[in-house]
A and B are shown apart, each in its own frame.
Chain A
Amino acid sequence: MATNQIDPTKWVDKYSDYLFNYTIVRVNDRDLANDIISETFLAGLKSMKNFKGEATERTWLISILKRKIIDYYRRINSNKGKAEVRINYSDEENDGDWLEEQAPDRFELNAENQMENEELGLAILECMEKLPEKQAKIFKMKTIEGIDTETICNEFNITPSNLWVIIHRARVTLAECLEKNWF
């Protein structure tokens, strides 16, 4: 049943943090992640007519983002083949082997933890989408960005008491949302 609506004017506010966290762990470069997200938004705009409303907007954008990340790795892999690098080994037995064979494996012992942490991060962001906009913004500034109470109060023109009430409500909602799978 097609029930989900699409509204590109809200994509950045609603999904940019989610898309960014999804991308940064896969490309590990902030500028590159920004470029890929930018391409994702533009590709989304161009294919808006294909949005059937069966998936959520975020799921649909993530499917585009995944393809953009794959495209990026295909591009750099095809460039790699053009510049072959060999090294001189000291012993004859290994002579002619590729340098890459001796590169350390980036998927170290804690790869599983990294994947779990990424999944956890996305779960937190999904739960944050359930918060009212102002509550989510204030929680994010205070908890993720570590901005001090006074600065946030000035920006939103609220008292510290108001801020703590907002933070409390946000934390209760988030704890309830995460409790089933993560507590």
Chain B
Amino acid sequence: MDCSNTAQCCDKAQYDEASLFEKVQIHIHLLFCKPCKKYTDNNNKLTELVRKANLKSCSEAEKKAWKEEITKENLHTPGHSKK
């Protein structure tokens, strides 16, 4: 497995989408490749930070409602067009 494949498998592993075979290959590659080891460490850290931050996401319906309100208000308020 080369570095490019290792990086992709490592990304997949962050989402539990890497197969057991891929995980074994990653570990073997990491024994000999420092840059990939660093990438994997950072990637794991990023996953941990995103989990810790517990980010919430607005739904498309919520966004649609806000967009409609903004458009409506923009149309009905003279002089409030895009700068």
Binding site for B on A (CB under 8 A): 5-9, 11-13, 16-17, 20-21, 24, 34, 37-38, 41-42, 45-46, 48-49, 51, 117, 120-121, 124-125, 140, 142-145, 149, 164-165, 167-168, 171, 174-175, 178-179, 182-183
Contacts and interface: CB of A to CB of B under 8 A. Distances in A.
Nearest to A44: B70
Given A48-B80, A164-B12, A121 B54 contact: yes
A45 B57 contact: no
A149 B17 contact: yes
Interface residues on B, range: 35 or more
B45 A175 contact: yes
Contacts of A144: 50, 55, 57
Contacts of A46: 77, 80
Given A117-B53, A164-B8, A179-B42, A12 B66 contact: yes
Nearest to B46: A175
Given A16-B58, A149-B17, A120 B69 contact: no
B34 interface: no
A20 B7 contact: no
Interface string B26-50: 0000000000000000110110011
B49 A124 contact: yes
A92 to B, nearest CB: 46
Contacts of A38: 65-66, 69
A17 B59 CA distance: 9
